[in-house]
Amino acid sequence: MNSCLFCRIVRREIPAEIVHETADVLAFRDVRPVAPTHVLVVPKRHVAAVREAEDTDGELLGQVMIGARDVARSLGLAAGGYRLVVNNGEEAGQTVFHLHVHVLAGRSLAWPPG
Binding site for Zn ion (CB under 5 A): 4, 6-7, 46, 98
Give whichever of 60 and 87 is closer to ligand 5GP, judged by the CB atom.
Answer: 87
Candidates 20, 98, 100, 102; catalytic one: 100
- Smallest separation (angstroms) from ligand 5GP to the CB of 70: 18
Judge residue 6's burial from the number of C-beta atoms within 10 Å of its C-beta, 0-12 exposed, 13-18 middle, 19 or more buried: buried
Judge residue 27's burial from the number of C-beta atoms within 10 Å of its C-beta, 0-12 exposed, 13-18 middle, 19 or more buried: buried
Q: Which of 104, 110, 107 is nearest to 85 (CA)?
A: 104
Residue 22, classed as helix, strand or coil, is: coil
The verdict on whether 46 is a catalytic residue reads: no
Give whichever of 14 and 78 is closer to ligand 5GP, judged by the CB atom.
Answer: 14
Among ligand 5GP, Zn ion, none, partner that 88 touches (CB below 5 to 8 angstroms by kind): none
Give whichever of 32 and 56 is closer to ligand 5GP, judged by the CB atom.
Answer: 32
Residues with catalytic roles: 100
